[in-house]
Amino acid sequence: MSPVAAAVILLSNVNGYEKNGLGYLSMASPDGTGVTTRWVTGLNGPTGMAIRGDSLYVADIDELVAIDLPSGRIARRYPAPERQPGLNDVAVGPDGAIYVSASARGAVYRLRADELETWVRDERLKDANGLLAHSSGLLVARWTLHRINLDGEPVIEPFGDQDVTDLETVEEVGADRWLVTTVGANRILELEPSGRMRPVLERETYSADIEYIPAERLLLVPSGENRLVAFRVVLTRTSARTSDRCAWPGVQEGSRTPGRAAG
């Protein structure tokens, strides 16, 4: 693993998806030891996270919260442009733009000029869940997977096998290689360049947003058992598979959505 000085693992703890002030973020060293359970407090139902520069952006029900990484302090809160948006995940575009999925509004918001605005709204984005931004566009996991171009006017198009449904999140693990998680079936699948989705791992418990650390070939999977589980990922020319399961200490009260931060 990378040394503690080089990276940490950050996790959001929903702790009841409501405006209760009980949500928090945890921090762990890359080898799974040295857990700081309540690194950032004062949140409500924090879910997806993304890092840009020295700031961590967290979806928190109806606000996008910016946290200063060096200090762990909340720097700013950006309210959603409409009520009860159900903010879910956050992604940083190639140009540094911040995107947030609004599950309850069938929309994706964008942070622009210090204001969260509606970037695109469409029936196909209803229950929009996990986001992943890369060079070919913004991938949106919902009932099925869609892609939105980031150049010019946003255009939504199906992406990958549309027969695989009830998606949670999508994570890039290599050039044109992605892993996708499902909600009901508790599966992790590889999305191949051809668009076909192939099962890689089936779990007994719900898997929330996943994170992949390329240098370690390590897949971090938050569990419905309030634990973070790590798997080694073996990539071949034609497929991906998981090998050994690595022990990881539990983080209580509903761990979800890991992210990585340079420390």
Q: Quote the percentage of the chain above a pLDDT of 70.
A: 84
The residue among 36 and 5 whose pLDDT is bigger is: 36
pLDDT tens track for 7-61? 788 989 888 888 999 999 998 887 767 788 899 999 999 999 999 999 999 999 9
CA contacts within 13 A on the Cβ side of 121 = 9
Q: How confident is the model at residue 84 (pLDDT cuts 50, 70, 90)?
A: very high
Token look-up 């999925």 returns 101
CB 42 within 8 A of CB 22: no
Burial of 198 (0-12, 13-18, 19+ CB in 10 A): middle
What pLDDT, on the 0 to 100 scale, is given for residue 28?
Answer: 85
Tell me phi and psi for residue 57, to 5 degrees: -105, 130
What pLDDT, on the 0 to 100 scale, is given for residue 152?
Answer: 87
CATH code matching the domain that covers 7-262, chosen among 3.50.50.60, 3.40.50.10190, 2.130.10.10, 2.40.50.140: 2.130.10.10
Q: How far apart are CA 85 and CA 255, in angstroms?
A: 22
Tell me phi and psi for residue 59, to 5 degrees: -75, 125
The residue among 190 and 4 whose pLDDT is bigger is: 190
The residue among 198 and 238 whose pLDDT is bigger is: 198
The residue among 203 and 93 whose pLDDT is bigger is: 93
Region 155-162: what's the mean pLDDT?
93
Q: How far apart are CA 48 and CA 23, in angstroms?
A: 13
The residue extents of the domains of the chain are 7-262
Q: How confident is the model at residue 248 (pLDDT cuts 50, 70, 90)?
A: very low
Region 188-192: what's the mean pLDDT?
87
**Residue 178 pLDDT > 70:** yes
